[in-house]
Amino acid sequence: AQSVAQPEDQVNVAEGNPLTVKCTYSVSGNPYLFWYVQYPNRGLQFLLKYITGDNLVKGSYGFEAEFNKSQTSFHLKKPSALVSDSALYFCAVRDLSGGYNKLIFGAGTRLAVHP
């Protein structure tokens, strides 16, 4: 079965510092990996995805993610954090069981960026 794990419940970072939100995956076959963000009292917003190609994927709001096959990881990164980046971040993997698409989400990581 496909799964993703987000080992950190919360990540704290100072504004202006680089941030990393970790995600590891377990899949059979080629992984399709995604990052979503949920701002307080808001819906889910798509950030970026990895399907194939370059291991470094660029997404919305200055975020990027690095796909590492040997470490089965897909960590979310940003060179310089903003206070407005504070939110809940979800890593997800596509599951094609039964021949139909669905997303399997990680437990989420709360990012807190301090001024």
Partner 1 sequence: DTAVSQTPKYLVTQMGNDKSIKCEQNLGHDTMYWYKQDSKKFLKIMFSYNNKELIINETVPNRFSPKSPDKAHLNLHINSLELGDSAVYFCASSPRINPSDPGRDFGQGTRLTVV
Q: Specify the residue, 45 or 71, whose C-beta has the smaller distance to partner 1.
A: 45
* Beta carbon of residue 10, minimum distance to partner 1 (angstroms, whole number): 12
Binding mask 24-43 for partner 1 (x = CB under 8 A): --------x-x-x-x---xx
Q: How far apart are CA 96 and CA 73, in angstroms?
A: 20
Among 14, 56, 96, 112, interactor with partner 1 by CB under 8 A: 96
- C-alpha span between 104 and 63 (Å, rounded): 21
Report the sign of the C-alpha dihedral through residues 60, 48, 41, 84, in that order: negative
Query: Between the CA of residue 1 and those of 21, 34, 75, 108, what are the distances in Å?
Result: 23, 17, 21, 19
In the complex, the residues that contact partner 1 under the rule CB under 8 A are 32, 34, 36, 38, 42-46, 49, 51, 88, 90, 94-96, 98, 100-105, 107-108
